[in-house]
Amino acid sequence: MDGKMQRVLARTGLGRMSSGEYQANLNGMNMFFGAVLGFVLSGTEKLNAWQFGVLLTSLAGVVVTVLYISSSRHRLAYSLLALFYAATFPEIMGLLLRSPEPIPDKIRPTLLVWIGMTVLVEFWARERNDAPVGSPLEDAAPGPEARQ
């Protein structure tokens, strides 16, 4: 049954992800959510320069933690840490900036959705690939049609 289910998923495009699909997912999400965060931050004009610097530094820490989910062998720990950071970010910023509403309310859902999608992609089954993405060996390797 398990093998049959894997074949059905593979035929529908929901099977194991190739290295290229994995990289495309991560690159696309990182670009998209980077742009969304820029848009969300447009409500920070009321912060003074010091507060804005603290906000950017803190937000950069959360973003780096999200990127570590797919770059570290400790991806589960970074997933949990990123979720904690995102869930508590507005409250932590309120304490750091000594302000009840220092940041736009859309930052938390933006971070949570980004983390959720990153975790989904990171923990999705992937094809085993002998050559790392972008290596000369990958370009020389025969495509799936040649292996059949």
pLDDT at 146: 44
pLDDT at 2: 65
Q: Other C-beta atoms within 10 Å of 111: how many?
A: 26
pLDDT at 7: 64
Chunked into runs of 10 residues, the chain (148 residues) has average pLDDT values of: 63 70 83 89 85 92 93 92 94 84 84 92 72 41 44
pLDDT at 138: 43
